Chains A and B, each alone.
Chain A
Amino acid sequence: MPLNITDPIEGSFQLIGGNFAQAGEASTQLKIKLSALGVDELLIRRAAIATFEAEMNVIIYAAAGWLNYHITPNCITIRVEDMGPGIEDIEKAMQEGYSTAPEWVRELGWGAGMGLPNMKKNSDTFKIDSVVGEGTTVEMVINFP
């Protein structure tokens, strides 16, 4: 099925720290949107997984954040910006299994140190920038073949 995209499509979601009930809403809506545009199922899954992990990170660690997506005929760009504690050592945070999440988060099934690696694994381009005490920005691009 050819992609049904002519003009760029944009959207955004506001994320609230600690609101686990909201977790995954942005990813689900993005998934529906991509599906309607005729994007390949595996690419949709990759975008949804990357978005979901990013949403979870804001909900777990930050006070609030914004998720923006931008869809063109060539790719989808997902940008997540948060007002959170920031990441001290990005290199360490990118390692599988490394996490600073507290016990209660692990008891909910998160904070196993796979979030950022999962986002990277599912993106074609992954950028992260963080300032301790201010927040973290993640930008992920998934190309359409």
Chain B
Amino acid sequence: MKLKELVEALSLEAKTYKDGLQKEVTGAYASDLLSDVMANAKDGNIWITLQTHLNIVAVASLKGVIGIIIVGGRKIPEDVLKKAEEEKITVMTTSLHAFELAGRIYQLLNPNYS
């Protein structure tokens, strides 16, 4: 599934690097711990978190994570958005909680499940 389809299906708001919406999503990963994401996220994943620290961009970039979805309607600092644009990471926001968002993404990415 293209990131664009996921953004539309879940009414996410893309804040940075909109060219990235054409990319293919390989899967998703949910965590608020950078070490965990460093160890377990995969190339082409999208990352679900409520962490808005600047370091999330560096971690995403290092791991080939194409997009970060900030949950809970959390505001994203300007420096994070700027860095994400530079690093070509699509940062998105939603008012949904992490659990809810993960559940819905799981259904979208695994339509044959159940």
Contacts and interface: CB of A to CB of B under 8 A. Distances in A.
- Do A and B touch (CB < 8 Å)? yes
Interface of A: 96-99, 103, 106-107, 109, 112-113
A97 B52 contact: yes
A56 to B, nearest CB: 16
A99 B52 CA distance: 10
User: Chain A interface secondary structure, helix, strand, loop or mixed?
Assistant: loop
Contacts of A99: 53
Given A96-B75, A106-B53, A112 B32 contact: yes
User: Chain B interface secondary structure, helix, strand, loop or mixed?
Assistant: loop
B32 A97 contact: no
Contacts of A106: 33-34, 51, 53
Given A103-B55, A106-B53, A112-B51, A97 B77 contact: yes
A96 B50 CA distance: 12
Nearest first, the 4 A-B pairs at minimum CB distance are A97-B52, A107-B33, A97-B74, A107-B35
A113 B32 CA distance: 13
Interface of B: 32-35, 50-53, 55, 74-75, 77
A107 B77 CA distance: 20
Given A97-B52, A112-B50, A112-B51, A103 B75 contact: no
Contacts of B75: 96-97
Contacts of A107: 33-35
24 contacts: A96-B74, A96-B75, A97-B52, A97-B74, A97-B75, A97-B77, A98-B77, A99-B53, A103-B34, A103-B55, A106-B33, A106-B34, A106-B51, A106-B53, A107-B33, A107-B34, A107-B35, A109-B32, A109-B33, A112-B32, A112-B50, A112-B51, A112-B53, A113-B52
A98 B79 CA distance: 12
Nearest to A111: B53
Contacts of A112: 32, 50-51, 53
A115 B16 CA distance: 28
A145 B4 CA distance: 50
Given A103-B34, A107-B35, A113-B52, 7 more contacts: A97-B74, A97-B75, A106-B51, A107-B33, A107-B34, A109-B33, A112-B50
B29 to A, nearest CB: 17
A97 B33 CA distance: 15
A112 B77 CA distance: 13
Contacts of A103: 34, 55
